[in-house]
Amino acid sequence: MISHRKFSPAEDKQIRSNWHSYASYYGIPEEEAPLYMGTETTSEPTGRGSEHAERLKFCKSTNFRPLMCKRLLNRTCGQVFRRCYLLFRNANEVQTAGFLRWVGNCWRYYINE
């Protein structure tokens, strides 16, 4: 039975575990998760360049989507990937917010460097 409720902390932990396993096995940096979690991995390349085409081909050849849905049997692939995108996008935003708090009003200096 497909669940339509909010993702539980255990499901979020499983998603993070699945990504960590996949990333470490294929040598992908952890911070590149949003590149793999977006809709770009589902569609054909549309003028985004060879890097996008290579990532799309890589995802298909390594069964990326089934591996990310591992042990989440009551969720659809679409639900899992939307949650993945939100989890990993928010992690990057939190890091950026922390950097901006640390930099304070001197952000123009760091951007212009």
Q: Is residue 3 part of a domain?
A: no
Per-residue pLDDT reduced to its tens digit, 12-22: 999 999 999 99
Q: How many domains does the chain have?
A: 1
Tell me the mean pLDDT in the region 29-58.
71
Per-residue pLDDT, averaged over 79-108, amounts to 66
CA–CA separation, 96 and 98 (whole Å): 5
Whether residue 105 lies inside any domain: the answer is yes
- Confidence at 46, pLDDT banded by 50, 70, 90: low
Question: Pseudo-torsion of CA 58, 87, 112, 51, nearest 10°?
Answer: 10
Instruction: Tell me which residue range forms the domain holding 96.
Output: 9-112
- Whole-number pLDDT of residue 82: 84
Say what the pTM is. Answer: 0.70
The answer to whether the CB of 83 falls within 8 A of the CB of 38 is: no
Asked if residue 31 belongs to a domain, the reply is yes
Model confidence pLDDT, tens digit, residues 88-102: 876 555 555 555 565
